[in-house]
Structure 1
């Protein structure tokens, strides 16, 4: 019996300067190391820091038709506005990972696993300020 086809569609979102795009690249590179099909699509506001930033990452056994992720099965958010924007788009059975240091409202999402991780606080306590994104990955 052959192994089932695998596909992950993720959205990572937060403010510019939090390393959202870099975190997406880490995930995309993991797919590359597994010799999988992948796409990484950044989206950010015109501000240098503090504006909105998000990226879509697809990793699949099959060719990817579109790099844009509208209904992710994985959502990683580092601020409340990003959670507010994307939480209702997560597929049933999906996973939401929230930086609970910066997101005061952790949602109860029936049919979706929500993991609250105090990533920013953990990074600062370890002397690794700016690596909360890597903790969430």
Structure 2
């Protein structure tokens, strides 16, 4: 198993949290992992992306240039990273904010209205978890149980009361792409 993932969007969309959750989950499952964040100059609202590698084999470098999957949460991220997905790879597009279609026909593309689905759940802040649920359903990169365990490590015990809504968001994302 070798997943090379790019996750990108605006700061504040939970891009780094998705990457950290995947990375910690990989560690929980005794896989080799790497996480490389990249921020724009702004704190919130600027660009943010991260590279995540999850592998059964040792990882040589944390940079992803040929992604097996990309998650894009905004239009600038689609424009920048669509080309980096390998033929046969997967591209997950936040169709709540991106009305542009993918220009490639050699990859699997999934349009997931994550902001709309998060609002349906009553919490706009779980849009990233909706997307993560869709991603996990189609890639099986890590187990959902590992994500839920990693949630406590990434966000701390004082945020564990948010686990139920985040679990619902993961389930919602998975159900949309089944």
TM-score, length basis structure 1:
0.93
Query: Runs of 4 or more off by more than 2 Å in structure 1?
Result: none
Structure 1 CA distance for aligned equivalents of residues 98 and 18 of structure 2 = 18
TM-score, length basis structure 2:
0.72
* Cross-structure match for 2:127: 132
Match 2:27 to one of 15, 23, 32 = 32
Map 1:21-60 → 2, pairs under 5 A: 21-60=16-55
CA-based RMSD of the aligned residues comes to: 0.9
User: Is the Cα–Cα contact under 8 Å of residues 12 and 20 in structure 1 kept in the other structure?
Assistant: yes
Structure 1 CA distance for aligned equivalents of residues 98 and 22 of structure 2 = 22
* Cross-structure match for 2:69: 74
* Structure with the higher helix share, 1 or 2: 2
Report the count of equivalent residues: 132
Gap regions ≥5 residues in structure 2: 133-178
Gap regions ≥5 residues in structure 1: 1-5
Structure 2 CA distance for aligned equivalents of residues 106 and 25 of structure 1 = 28
Deviations 1:94-131 (A, max 9, x none): 00011100111021422210000000111012111111
SS at structure 2 position matched to 1:94: strand
